[in-house]
Amino acid sequence: MEKKILFPQVGGFLHGGDYNPEQWLDRPDILEEDVRLMKKAGVNSATLGVFSWSVLEPAEGEFHFEWLEAIIDRLYQNGIYTVLSTPSGARPAWLDAAYPEAMRVDRTGMRAHHGGRHNHCMSSPIYREKVARIDRKLAERFGSHPGVIMYHISNEFSGECFCPHCVKKFRGYLADKYDNDIEKLNAAWWTAFWSHRYNSFEQIEPPFTNGETSVMGLNLEWKRFTTWNTNDFMKAEIEVLRSVTPDIPTTANLMRLFGGLDYRKMAPDMDVVSWDNYPTFHNDWETLADTMSETAFQHAVMRSLKRGKPFMMMESAPGLVNWQPVNKLKRPGVHRLACLQAVACGSDSVQYFQWRKGRGSYEQFHGAVVDHIGTDDTRVFREVAEVGELLRKIAPAAGTTVKPRAALLFDWDNRWAIDDAKAFSQASKKYEETCIDIWKAFFRLGADMDVVGSDEDLSDYNVVAAPMLYMLQPGTAENLKRFVERGGQLFATYCTGYVDKEQLCFLGGFPGDGLKSLFGIVSEEIDSLYPSDRNGIVLEDGSCWEVRDYAEILRVQDAQVLGTYADDFYKGTAALTCKECGKGRAYYAAARTAAEQMEPLFEKMLTDAGIPARKLPEGVECHVRSGESGNYAFYLNSTPEQVSVSGVTGRELVTDVNVEGVLTLPAYGVAVVHSGCN
Ligand code: GLA
Ligand code: ZN
């Protein structure tokens, strides 16, 4: 298999982060010291220019790139490569003063004042023009510099704009989507309800707070449009850069399972997926192992946006952050653990926000590799340098990938539709939490899972969990059937197959679109439970899973009943079923139960799929990256105690010793065990 190393220039993993020399231009001594310190920390990359617009172009049309050139040169001469960012994430004051339309309009119709960041209109022609101009100039000036290895587009795209430009574009988007036929839109949005029929696309407004919010199709289409328009903005930036330097890869830094944008629609337009990882370490509501496993889920989301390719962890905090409710320090050793987890899950970079703490403004107390104290003899600096050293040791693993045989289906459309549905119990819908809990349950059984869209090719997988797949995309039902028939083990739950992609309910019984025959059941009613209500699912072996929040009442057609309700007027009726279809099985859990209670079922699914469950000691996780240089099993110990893991064989790269049988991990320890080639 071809090894797809992302950064041939560095010959391994990228280690570095956001660097803001523009804040220190009057301190050449500090800028020089930065290079010395970067080398000492094993840093081989710096992300430059993220919010540099007002220094790059201090007045309209007056460009000052010489300072940036000097920095890029000096870094390169010292073996440090540049990830060059476009500055569109924050606007200079002159721009908003001259072109107020660049400032966003909120859901009430009010235009924002100048300030902050990540708040530009995505449609404004003049803003796009100004962005394209500076992007082109940056690419022309720096694109052929041997030190520039990647473009970073804007920063953390997010938010919506309700300005006249955006409204007009929304109408155009809808007209395209519905073939210029308003009656198609009326049918899709069910507008005969409450007299909501439109006569023309010109009558459509986005869902203003004091406007139309009761048409589900409109609400969802606005979210889809916001993704489409943001992506269009990103693509416009990428096109300019590619027209000058087509060979420099592009990325945009994403934010975990962010609710505002459907990242799956954006990923194909960037060359590499990257994301910003800020877990709430050592909080008072979960164990560190829980925080780590949730983070592993988020890494899996990113990994799965471009399957079979490494992703990047573009930002993480070297020490603490400054915006969480409590900004707690990472305990000694936890930095290394978190960095190695990113790599274990498939990242080819460990990057930080930020290299050096600024003296003033909003992020003056945000953690950095170099603190206000300014020296390298700090705990944080030493831990960062240790990561630099570690990444060098495991460099041959760069370019390898994690290839799970299990997947969880997660769709942004589905998330938005569930959240907006006037149904169930508003407070306990919890689609994301349900997905994460089920993902974690499989993870505890040793199964790494990808997180993929319901209409994606599932042929890499033998086990698929599809919790609460309320909305079926065209083709999803066929996809699931194919998966089961060829031998897949499928797990689905209550709230499956209620609506189509327009949010119109399926007629003839849920789950619709032919899924009734896959599961052998029809869901006739769904009961929403008050927080203190409980029911149970009694299984064949007499054990009982506690039920909360939701319980569907089923008609069983030709499924086998594995569990029945313990209580209420539907006591004794089917609550957990299984149907064999072709070579596989389709399970249906009609009620919400804690994911850990379902582990025995998940274990059976894994076993039947030929993926033996592997239960590691509490708080230990394992991910395997593989490629032409062999397999790399990453073991991470999230507990403050030493633990032993049995059944491990190979060369351990952190300590450089052979392991034959038992691997000992110190407190918060990490190990990378290399074994045979594929
Ligand atoms: C985000 C941004 C950075 C910085 C960090 C702070 O990820 O991209 O510019 O503000 O948060 O944690
Ligand atoms: Zn706008």
**Spatial separation of the C-alpha atoms in residues 549 and 468, rounded to whole Å:** 13
What does the pLDDT average to over 192-200? 97
What does the pLDDT average to over 16-41? 98
Please choose, from the candidates 634, 669, 667, the residue with its C-alpha nearest in 3D space to the C-alpha of residue 650: 634
Q: Which residue blocks in 253-378 are alpha helix, DSSP H?
A: 263-266, 288-305, 334-344
Sequence length of the chain is 678
98: CA distance to ligand 2 center in Å? 16
Please choose, from the candidates 290, 299, 581, 314, the residue with its C-alpha nearest in 3D space to the C-alpha of residue 451: 299
pTM of the predicted model as reported, rounded to 2 decimal places: 0.98
Q: Which ligand is nearest to the CA of 278?
A: 1
Q: What is the pLDDT of residue 2?
A: 43
Q: What is the pLDDT of residue 5?
A: 81
Is 125 a residue whose pLDDT tops 70?
yes
118: CA distance to ligand 1 center in Å? 11
Pocket lining for ligand 1, CB < 6 angstroms: 155-156, 276, 278, 315, 321, 353, 363, 366
What is the CB neighbour count within 10 angstroms for residue 327? 15
Q: What is the pLDDT of residue 403?
A: 97
Most informative mutation of 256, 314, 363, 364 for ligand 1 (most atoms within 8 A of CB)? 363
- What's the token pair of residue 37? 């310190």
DSSP conformational letter for 62: B
572: CA distance to ligand 2 center in Å? 55
Among protein residues, the one with the nearest Cα to ligand 1's atom 5 is: 353
Please choose, from the candidates 248, 353, 350, 315, the residue with its C-alpha nearest in 3D space to the C-alpha of residue 20: 353
Q: Which ligand is nearest to the CA of 20?
A: 1
Q: Which of 57, 237, 315, 603 is catalytic?
A: 315
157: CA distance to ligand 2 center in Å? 14
Distances (CA, A) of 146 to 10, 531, 612: 12, 60, 47
DSSP conformational letter for 494: S
Is 462 a residue whose pLDDT tops 80?
yes
Q: What is the pLDDT of residue 612?
A: 87
Return the ligand 1 atom nearest residue 255 CA.
7
Give the E-state strand segments of 507-573 in sequence order: 521-528, 535-539, 544-556, 560-565
Q: Which of 22, 57, 156, 456 is catalytic?
A: 156
Among protein residues, the one with the nearest Cα to ligand 1's atom 12 is: 321
What does the pLDDT average to over 610-614? 91
Three-class SS string for 35-47? HHHHHHCCCCEEE
Is 678 a residue whose pLDDT tops 80?
no
Is 619 a residue whose pLDDT tops 50?
yes
Asked if residues 662 and 645 have their Cβ atoms less than 8 Å apart, the reply is yes
569: CA distance to ligand 1 center in Å? 52
Phi, psi of 37 (to 5 degrees): -70, -40
Q: What is the pLDDT of residue 677?
A: 65
**Spatial separation of the C-alpha atoms in residues 444 and 616, rounded to whole Å:** 8
**Catalytic (active site) residue 156:** yes
What does the pLDDT average to over 290-311? 98
Residue percentage of the chain with pLDDT more than 90: 98
Is 295 a residue whose pLDDT tops 70?
yes
- What's the token pair of residue 453? 């869209």
pLDDT band at 676 (very low <50, low <70, confident <90, very high): confident
Characterize the bridge pairing of strands 406-409 and 449-452: parallel
Among protein residues, the one with the nearest Cα to ligand 1's atom 4 is: 353
**Spatial separation of the C-alpha atoms in residues 242 and 244, rounded to whole Å:** 5
What does the pLDDT average to over 405-426? 97
What does the pLDDT average to over 410-430? 97
pLDDT band at 3 (very low <50, low <70, confident <90, very high): low
Q: Which ligand is nearest to the CA of 90?
A: 1
Asked if residues 495 and 589 have their Cβ atoms less than 8 Å apart, the reply is no
Among protein residues, the one with the nearest Cα to ligand 1's atom 3 is: 353
Return the ligand 1 atom nearest residue 322 CA.
12
Supply the mean pLDDT for the chain.
97
Is 1 a residue whose pLDDT tops 70?
no
